[in-house]
Every structure is written in structure tokens, then in C-alpha cells.
Chain A
Amino acid sequence: MAYISLPEGLPGIRGLMAFRPETARPMNDFIETLLHGPHTLTPGERELIGTYVSYLNDCYYCQTCHGYIAAACLNGDEELVKRVKADFQHADISEKLKALLVIAGKVQKSGKSVTAEDVAQARAAEASDLEIHDTVLISAAFCMFNRYVDGLGTWQPRDEAMYRERGKRIARDGYVFISQEYLPAETVAK
């Protein structure tokens, strides 16, 4: 049972966003830009960062939801997503993404944990300043989303098929479009 009376039938962050559409709108715009907008990192790479941080924060809803979005972006490769969570250094991903995941993992603990060596390593693997910036911000953002979802005790059904289906749709249509399902129309309009 959630700690506050949320609209029924909406799991995880969706119930919270329907409860408070005023804050939902900028949060959806924000996540759309970070994960779905045009970028030199692919949506799949960015979703893997979000999934990995949510896994470190032990947020079931976010790691499952974003894990399936990542898989949908990566030709349905659910095994790769699992591998990144369990041991990304041995996953079949680029050296650049590995270096960025190291930074994301540091940010998850504390912004202060990021060292000049971590950043130098990412640069050596050809990460740009924008990619390093966005990695830090994606990780920081999931430290917010995960706390928001768990801190209010939201309903997080154990229903992998639901997350898989939704992951495909978010990967295709993005966050702002999907949010029309649970937000009043005037809140979604930009």
C-alpha cells in the first residue's frame, strides 16, 4: 500500500505523476531529453545507464521498466541488460560505455566519489564532454526517480510481461507521448 492515496491501477511513478501533474510535466520533459532525445549516445546506451543505477538503488519498478526499454532499444536483447546489471565489465558493450557506467556507479554513491581518473578513463575511451555530462546527470536523475518511487511506497507489480510490453512502447514513442495516458491533456501540451 502506498503511503498516500494515489489513483488506483497506476504502478510506480505513474501513480505519482497522476497525483501531481504539475511536477510530472517537467519531469517527463526532462527524462525525454535525457534518454529519448537526439544524442551521440544511443537511447539503448542511455537506458542501460538508467537501469544500472536503478539496480544499484534497488528500485524494482525503475530497473525493470527501464531494463525493458533498454532491451527494446537493443533489438530485444534482454540477456545483455541482465549482464550489464550483474557485471558490466564483462558485458558485450563498448569500452566507452563501460567507462561511463563506472562514473554512473560513482555518482549513485555520491557526486563526490567521481575522480579525475574516472573521467580520464572515459575520455581515453573517446567519451565527449557532453556524454560525460549526461552520464552524470542520468545517474543523478535516477537517484531522484528511484527515491521518489520507493519513498512513497508505490505499487510495483511483479509482472514482467507488463513491463516488457510497456518498454517497447516507450522505446518507440518516448516519455512525453506515453504520459498522455495518465496525465490530464493540458498538462502534457508543451
Chain B
Amino acid sequence: MPHIALPEGLAGITAGFAFRPETAKPMRELAHILLHEANSLTPGERELIATYVSSQNDCYFCQTSHGAAAACHLGSSEIVKQVKTDFESAPVSPKLKALLAIAGKVQQSGKNVTSTDIDRARRLGATEMEIHDTVLIAAAFCMFNRYVDGLGTWQPRDETMYAQMGKHLAEEGYRKRPAEQPEPEYYRTAREAADKELAVETK
């Protein structure tokens, strides 16, 4: 049972997003830029970083949905599993391994990242932007994971649902609400009331 009255039938973060669309919008936007927009790291690599951090934070919803998105980009769910269990021996590039090591440090604490970690990534070809985005993706998932688990959201054990979600995320990114999730009635009423109030205030 969620800790607060979240709209029913919405899993994980989508319930928090529907409950509070004002904060959902910039959060979606941040995820879209970090994971989906053009970048010298592929979307698959970035989803692997997100999945790895979510698995370190033990967040079922995030590691499963982003794991599915990663698998969709990479055409293999086996790599995703290997990265979660032992990325140093997974079939990914040495550069990505060095970035995953940084992400793992950030997951514990920002202060755990050392210049040795950064030097290793740089030596293996990581750019400043890639190092920056790795730290921010790891930090952002420390937020998303806590948000999803801290509200006690509904996280169904339903592989098909996550596979569909992963495909949607891989193809469309994070800016849009998936079409199969209509705006809940209770939320529409609340949003319209809030809009009216805002219109009065700004007059």
C-alpha cells in the first residue's frame, strides 16, 4: 500500500508523477535529456548506468523498467543482468566500466569519487561531458529511486508490463506520458482547480 493516496492503477514513479504534475514535468525533462537526447554515450550505455545505480539502491521498479529500456536499446537482456551482477566482467567497453565504477561511488556518496576513478575513466577515453553526465545520472537515480520507494508505490511483478514500458521509453523517451496511461479522473479535477487558482493569482 502506498504511504499516501496515489492514483490507482499507476505503477512506480508514474503514480508520483500523476499525483504532482508540477514536479513531474521538470523531472521527466531531466530524465529525457540525460538518457534519451543525443550524447556521445549511447542511450543503451546511459540506461545501463541508470539500471546499475537503481539495482545498487535496490529499487525494483526503476531497475526493472530501465533494465528493460537498456535491453531494448542493446538488443540483449543478458548484458543488463551481467552489468547488475558484475559489470567489470560484462561485455561492455572499458570506458563504460570506468564510468560504472564512478556511478557506483556516487550511489554511496558523492564524496567517495576519487581522482583515481576519474583518471581511469579519462585514460579509457571518457570526455568531461561523459564524466559529468555519469555523475548526474547516478545522482538523479538516487533521487528517483528514493522517490519511488519512499512513497511506497505499487511495483507489480509483471515482466510483460516492464518490457512494454522499456520499449516505450527506449523509443519515445521520457518527456511524454505513455498514451496507455490516461489522466486519472481525480487528478484531472485537482489539476483544473489548481489551474483556476493560479489564473486568479497571476491576474
Q: What residues of A have a CB within 8 angstroms of the CB of B22 in the complex?
A: 33, 37
Which residues of B have CB within 8 Å of A57?
109-110
- Chain A interface, number of residues (Cβ within 8 angstroms): 50
List residues of B whose CB falls within 8 A of some A CB.
1, 3-5, 16, 19-20, 22-23, 25-27, 29-30, 33-34, 37, 57-59, 102, 105-106, 109-111, 113, 115, 118, 128-129, 131-133, 135-136, 138-140, 142-152, 201
Taking a contact as CB atoms closer than 8 A, the residue among A111, A133, A145 that contacts B149 in the complex is A111
Asked whether any CB of chain B lies closer than 8 Å to the CB of A91, the reply is: no
Q: Are A137 and B113 in contact (CB under 8 A)?
A: no
Given A4-B132, A151-B110, 17 new contacts (CB under 8 A): A26-B26, A107-B150, A110-B146, A111-B147, A111-B151, A114-B150, A129-B19, A132-B3, A133-B4, A134-B23, A137-B16, A137-B23, A144-B143, A146-B110, A146-B139, A148-B135, A152-B113
Contact for A23 among B34, B111, B145, CB less than 8 A: B34
The answer to whether B143 and A140 touch across the interface, beta carbons within 8 angstroms, is yes
B4 touches A129 (CB 8 A): yes
Q: How far is the CB of B174 from chain A (nearest CB, A)?
A: 11
- Given B34, B132, B133, B150, which contacts A140 in the complex, CB threshold below 8 Å? B150
Interface segment out of the listed A14-22, A40-48, A75-83: A14-22
CA distance A20 to B4 in the complex (A): 35
CA distance A38 to B129 in the complex (A): 35
Complexed CA–CA distance, A148 and B27 (Å)? 15
B150: which of A136, A145, A148 is its contact (CB, 8 Å)? A136
A64 close to chain B: CB less than 8 A:
no
B59-A111 in contact (CB<8A): yes
**A3–B150 contact, CB under 8 A?**
no
Residue of B nearest to A5 (CB): B128
CB–CB A147/B135 < 8 A: yes
Shortest C-beta distance, B129 to chain A (Å), equals 8
Report if A4-B143 is in contact (Cβ < 8 Å); known contacts: A136-B150, A150-B110.
no
